[in-house]
Structure 1
Amino acid sequence: MIEDMMDELLTRITAETGLDAATAKRAVGNILGFLSAESDDPAVGTMIRETPGAEDAMTATGDGGYSGGGIMALGAGLMGMGLDMSQIQTVAQELVAFSKLHAGTDTVDRVIASVPGLAQFV
């Protein structure tokens, strides 16, 4: 069931961006890893726990996941995976919308507000 829900997100992302599902999942995992690393707000943990498939997506990044350096490093890492700026923004927006459905709008908005500079990208 949880995997099916994540598949719905990945299907939307692949349809909007042209990315394959594995790349979309790694991109989602990198964004979640970024949020986890860059915010000390407990809302991040809540968002990750309550977003179906989030922990699995983070695991899918393997050793190539977000390793620090802020939002510019995240962008560079995602571009290194082959995403362009439009695709990065679409992945982020779809992830935010999906997380709001499952973790709640207040939780996700708190997460976004807790990471400097993030609001302009989502």
Structure 2
Amino acid sequence: MDEWVAHIAASVGIAPAVARLAVGHVFGFLQKRHPKGPADELIEKIPGAEAAIRDAAAAPRRGLLGGVLGGVGGLVGGAKGDVLALTARLTSLGLSPDQLQRLAREIFGGAEQVVGREKLRSMTDSIPGLSQFLWPKS
């Protein structure tokens, strides 16, 4: 996982420690939405992914925006609320909107190589806006 995190960090323009937390947040999000399925398979196939999820969950939330968006995510609930909460966690790491887009492409591009497009799509299709972002021509 260290090589992949280093690649993500370089591509997104963030420190490797931040990239690792971001990956942990995204994987934790997928694991929460798709327990006992392709998300678990993905996480099991990437050494260090479980530790990254634990570290991300234990990381303190920084910034007013992160707290506000996280709280709104809890109020909205469902898939949209989960996406807002994830976005809040990632922005609290200091990621800009452009960096969030690059991060998503890198994480999900790597995930596709690990579990294949069909299983990845089964995880992303239910996430508002993500499927169209990842698979614009499908």
TM-score class, shorter:
0.7 to 0.9
Q: Distance in 1 between matches of 2:38 and 2:124?
A: 10
Q: Out of 83, 90, 106, which is 1:94 matched to?
A: 106
Identity %: 33
Q: Out of 53, 56, 68, which is 1:58 matched to?
A: 53
Q: Is the 8 A contact 1:17 1:87 kept in 2?
A: yes
Which residue number in structure 1 is paired with residue 17 of structure 2? 22
Aligned CA distance change for structure 1 residues 121 and 78 (closer, same or farther; 3 Å): farther
Cα deviation for residue 121 of structure 1 reads 4.5
Structure 2 unaligned spans of 5+: 62-69, 75-80
Alignment of 1:1-122 (within 5 A): 6-40=1-35, 42-64=37-59, 69-122=81-134
Q: Is the 8 A contact 2:21 2:55 kept in 1?
A: yes
Larger-gyration structure (1/2): 2
Q: Structure 1, residues 80-114: CA drift from partner, whole Å, max 9, x if none?
A: 11111111121221111112222222211211113
Q: Distance in 2 between matches of 1:78 and 1:95?
A: 13
Q: Structure 1, residues 8-51: CA drift from partner, whole Å, max 9, x if none?
A: 21121121122111110000000111112233571221222123
Q: Distance in 1 between matches of 2:4 and 2:47?
A: 10
Write the letter of the residue equivalent to 1:16.
Answer: S
Q: Is the 8 A contact 1:41 1:111 kept in 2?
A: no
| Count of aligned pairs | 117
Q: Distance in 1 between matches of 2:60 and 2:120?
A: 21
Q: Distance in 2 between matches of 1:45 and 1:114?
A: 17
- What TM-score results when the alignment is normalised by the length of structure 2? 0.71
